[in-house]
Structure 1
Amino acid sequence: MDTNKALEAFAALSQATRLNTFRVLVRHEPEGLPAGEIARLLDVPHNTMSTHLGVLSRAGLVVSRRQSRSIIYRVSLNHMRETLGFLVRDCCAGRPELCEPLLEDLKPCCPPSKETVS
């Protein structure tokens, strides 16, 4: 990821409604949510939510797909992984033991169960 793409992602997330939208979508992975449901959950007018989703989409942070008459939005976890990787690429000047607390914090709160691990 280059600096401009990272800046675009950070700029998109630097507004409260967009950050909250992203966090709501993370909680609803992998199913995603229709735009209207996101607007309802965040108590945001539909047309305003559409604008915010457009910004997140152009920044590569969300993806959408049509399902019947709805558009379902999901987080682009790959893009977020690239963005986080951009931030910590040179972590601790090659001394990974110094970055261990950071890496521990990035572990998911809900690790996969033994049944889903292949």
Structure 2
Amino acid sequence: MKELARSLRKNQTDAERVMWQQLRNWLLLGCKFRRQQVIGQFIVDFVCLEPKLVIEIDGGQHADQQQYDQSRSHYLQQLGYRVLRFWNHEVLQDTPAVMEAIHLTMLELKEAVKA
């Protein structure tokens, strides 16, 4: 699995590349994100281990595998992760809106940890 994750990091989609530029180097609320990270039996596109947020960037093939994506999201939620999914075109065409959604979710998760 680790070799596959490494290969995926080297062969990012355009949307993943754009998203990584936004998330890397602790840029979002001082949180560290990892890309193509193994969690259990899956490799997630991006994860912030604290406060347990997974971000998935979906291409057209995901329209045909909704059942798989739902079971995968359910598995991650059982581990305590919040899962956000965005389509490639959302990331590429409206990056600020995607980042705002991620930012608001991060704030919500941080507040929940404090409570």
TM-score in same-fold range (> 0.5): no
Scaled by the length of structure 2, the TM-score of the pair is 0.26
Of structures 1 and 2, the larger Rg is shown by 1
